[in-house]
Structure 1
Amino acid sequence: MGVNSLVHLSTGIVPESELTMSTNPYINFSGASGAVYSYWRVDQPRNGATLQDVGGNYAFLKKLPNGNYVPVYFGQADSLRNRLPSHERLDDAIKAGASVVVAHTTPAGEAARLSEERDLIAKWNPVLNTHHRTTG
């Protein structure tokens, strides 16, 4: 990844200035495999009308005191529109400090979404993902 990538491998966090850059609306997460996945910010995750009715992956991000972000949850869904507005972990994520939701469509199907979810959880170990974590 280049200097403009949104996930810094050395710190494992996403700087706020890069998350909100209008010139690059995407945030890139690398997985344990080294694969890179591009996500966009979801401005109204509880409003299904603003979300695409397609399969995809998503993450809930927490802002750290230094202004950077870290994922607290990664997930996948058959329909982002149906899943995100009433997600059973969204309130938990908010209680854990999450203030940003990011997502992307995954047209390759459920197997690809599950593989990506596991790959990201294996690297980032989000606190709210209880399956596929590599550490406590």
Structure 2
Amino acid sequence: MNSINDNNFDQNYFEDTYFEKRVWITSAKTANQLYIFTRLYIGENDEMGKKTFSDLLTAISESETIPKTMAFWNNAVKACVEGSPLLEIITQIEKLGVKILVAGHALNKLNLKSSLRTGKTANHFDLIEAINQSNKVLNF
């Protein structure tokens, strides 16, 4: 093992290790909750509803308590695919330890299966299992 005084010491070792821990290890508490999203807005399908959805995802990513699972069904699967303006924040939520389920049937119907960039392709059995294992289910 190299010491700090060795000529072969990798100056980036500590920096890289810190970055890895900062990104992948969270101090957030996990609540045994399932959030189900079926559309790309909350409330009305207008700019305010879309902004509210985006703001909610941001709030989840910054919260001290995160849900155990988030499911994206129907048109909400579009949030998890390449080119989505919400992709970065959902990926960040997944890195915090939230299990992201994305409806495979919806991805197929919308011809988006190959564009999935975050989450796990799931079916209705996966959703039922997540519902049964959760203390609280919230549908948005």
Query: Whose Rg is larger?
Result: 2
- Which has the larger strand fraction? 1
- Which has the larger helix fraction? 2
| Same topology, TM > 0.5 | no
Provide the TM-score with structure 2 as the length reference: 0.24
Provide the TM-score with structure 1 as the length reference: 0.25
